[in-house]
Amino acid sequence: MGNSDTSKPLVGVVMGSRSDWDTMSHAVSRLETLGVAHEVQVVSAHRTPDLLFDYAASARDRGLRAIIAGAGGAAHLPGMLAAKTPLPVLGVPVKSRALNGLDSLLSIVQMPAGIPVATFAIGDAGAANAALFAASLLAADHPAIAQALDAFRARQTEDVLAQPDPRPG
Ligand code: RP5
């Protein structure tokens, strides 16, 4: 399991395939920027179903507080994780080649009542926002994360205000 931080991971970032990494790296880089301890792993609902069950069933006891799950196509991963863990599951629809991620979005967002999955935008923006949302969930109990999140938002605002004229040159 790939830990990118020496402290105990609070957020698990999982994805259905190595091919999802380009998208999910946007979640991981935001977590890194905000100093959120996390782990990263490929867990496939279709190819490694037993691993999926073990990962979800042990997640809370291992100290995770949220799981960001990215998948494309018939994207069962976030919903199946949510079925096996009480932790918040943040679903990221990966942009599929055949249907541009609309299939992924609908697969993740249309959970029947009873097992929620928070669903984000298709692709890179969704992955980035899932990480920011996970940081928001953790902020109340982790002052350093709250501070990093505030600083990130302030920087983002300053960036816009510093250059309000959109014309090049
Ligand atoms: C899903 O199938 C994965 O999340 C990925 O987005 C998609 C395609 O996977 P590969 O065939 O590229 O491994 O399970």
Q: What is the pLDDT of residues 24-33, one digit of tens each?
A: 999 999 999 9
Paired tokens of 76: 């069962």
Check if the interface score ipTM surpasses 0.90: yes
104 in a labelled binding site: no
Q: How many domains does the chain divide into?
A: 1
* Structural domain for 23, as ranges: 2-162
DSSP, collapsed to helix, strand or coil, labels residue 157 as helix
* Domain contains 34: yes
Distance 103 CA to ligand 1 centre (A): 12
* Ranges 4-13, 31-40, 80-89, 92-101: which has the least confidence: 4-13
* Domain contains 55: yes
Ligand 1, atom 3, residue with closest C-alpha? 16
* Domain contains 168: no
Q: What is the CA radius of gyration of the chain?
A: 16
41 contacts: CB under 8 Å, gap ≥ 6 = 1, 2, 12, 13, 14, 55
- Top pLDDT among 5 and 80 is at 80
- pLDDT at position 36 over 80: yes
pLDDT at 2: 44
Q: What is the pLDDT of residues 99-153, one digit of tens each?
A: 999 999 999 999 999 999 999 999 999 999 999 999 999 999 999 999 999 999 9
* Domain contains 7: yes
CB 19 near ligand 1, within 6 Å: yes
Q: What is the mean pLDDT of residues 70-96?
A: 98
Q: Which residue, 11, 10, 9, is CA-closest to 127? A: 11
Q: What is the mean pLDDT of residues 6-30?
A: 96
| Residue 74: CATH number of its domain | 3.40.50.1970
* Domain contains 169: no
3 contacts: CB under 8 Å, gap ≥ 6 = 9, 37, 38, 39, 40
How many other CB atoms sit within 10 Å of the CB of residue 121? 15
58 in a labelled binding site: no
- pLDDT at position 58 over 90: yes
* Domain contains 21: yes
* Domain contains 167: no
